[in-house]
Structure 1
Amino acid sequence: MGFFSRLFQPRSDGLKAPSDWSSLPAEEASELVLFDEEAGRVMAQFDIDAAIVGHERWLPWLGTLLQGQRDERLRADVVQDDRCSELGQWLHDSGRAALGHFPAFDMLLRRHRYFHQQAAAFIIHVEAGETALAEQAYKSCQHASRQVVLLLKELQRGLPGTRRRAAAKR
């Protein structure tokens, strides 16, 4: 059982998670596990492995700006919108419909949004020639990206079919 899955479970009363995820009471903490019907719907709509790989590509792409390379697709006004990526589109649409009742989902959504905010700040600092601030924003991007990937992996571990495949590999 993973770290996040022990902490973030759907609320027993069915209400939305509090906006301050860090203060969840202990009695609300338990495992993030999706029922087979939900898991099937999530897996049919979204490839979590591809989302992880796609998200991990952002950091090297952003890093090219530090090396003086320019990419017209990396515009702060576009990157700031966390819906500009496939993962962001899924999180705001069918991902929310399927998994929005899990407190960990809201944390994933916030971490993903924060990543995009920091990526936009990074681009702005690079374009302004503010190297120290750009490097600081890049480190924030790295940290947020690792959190997004960890949350996606935790979500993936909670899928019943994924757990069965992992057990079969042992």
Structure 2
Amino acid sequence: MGFFSRIFRWDDDASTTRPPPLSQPASELTLDAKTAQAVLAELDIDTAISAHENWSARLTAVLRGTSTEQLDPQVICQDDRCDLGKWLHGPGRERLGKYPAFSVLVARHKHFHLEASTVLTLAQTGEAAKTEQKLNSGYRHASNQVVLLLKELRRGLQSR
């Protein structure tokens, strides 16, 4: 059973949903099939993953000098400006914000943006070795975490 599945404890029949027993941790709340379908309708998770991966390719192209795109670290560090961030801080938070697993996704997404900003700042200050190290460690790890959490969310929602 995956991360989101364990945390959300998907429920096939919302009409039979009862409050969790007092012995059940608050993080293991029930997400009904109707809510799962609404989330899938609001967010195309495959498109979000593709956009995230395309962003990584854009950053790499800028760092390698194969793109003339101008990126600003002060803009990149803002995790609520990309499409995924807008959803996470808007409709996603409204539907899933009470679940700790959702908070983990939001935090990992924010961390990814901070890592990307740091990589770009290092590159702009001419610190090539540090840029490469950060790109291949913290940044890549943060990026992979976001993708893995999105895939797990998709898997859990589609199983409804």
Please point out which of 111, 114, 122 is paired with 1:114: 111
Distance across 1 between alignment mates of 2:29 and 2:44? 18
Match among 40, 44, 47 for residue 47 of structure 1: 44
**What's the CA shift string for 1:93-122, capped at 9, x where partnerless?**
000001111111000000000000011111
Conserved 8 A contact 2:76-2:117: yes
- For residues 63-82 of structure 1, what are the structure 2 equivalents within 5 Å? 63-69=60-66, 70-72=68-70, 74-82=71-79
Q: 1:114 and 1:42, CA in 2 relative to 1: closer, same or farther beyond 3 A?
A: same
Deviation, structure 1 residue 29: 9.3
Is 1:34 matched up with 2:31? yes
Quickly say closer, same or farther: Cα 1:79–1:34, change in 2 above 3 A. same
1:8: Cα distance to partner? 3.0
Q: Distance in 1 between matches of 2:154 and 2:29?
A: 10
Judge conservation of contact 1:42–1:98 (CA < 8 Å) in 2.
Answer: yes
Residues 53 and 135 of structure 1: CA distance in aligned 2, closer, same or farther (over 3 Å)? same
| Residue pair 2:8, 2:29 contacting (<8 A) in 1 also | yes
Q: Tell me the equivalent position of 1:132.
A: 129
Counterpart pick for 2:148 among 150, 155, 158: 150
Residue pair 1:111, 1:147 contacting (<8 A) in 2 also: yes
| Amino acid of the structure 1 residue aligned with 2:139 | C
For the residue of structure 2 that corresponds to 1:81, the secondary structure is coil
Task: Verify the 8 A CA contact 1:5 1:31 in the aligned structure 2.
Answer: no
With structure 1 as the length reference, what TM-score do the two structures score?
0.76
TM-score normalised to structure 2 length: 0.81
1:122 and 1:138 in contact (8 A); partners too = yes
* Offset at residue 9 of structure 1 (A): 3.9
Structure 2, unmatched stretches of 5+, are 10-18
Q: In structure 1, what residue type is equivalent to 2:159?
A: R
Residue deviations 1:124-169 (CA, integer Å, cap 9, x gap): 111111012211221211111111111111111111xx226xxxxx
Q: Match of 2:81?
A: 84
Q: How many residues align structurally? A: 147
Distance 1:8 1:163 in 2: 14
User: How many angstroms apart in 1 are the aligned matches of 2:102 and 2:29?
Assistant: 10
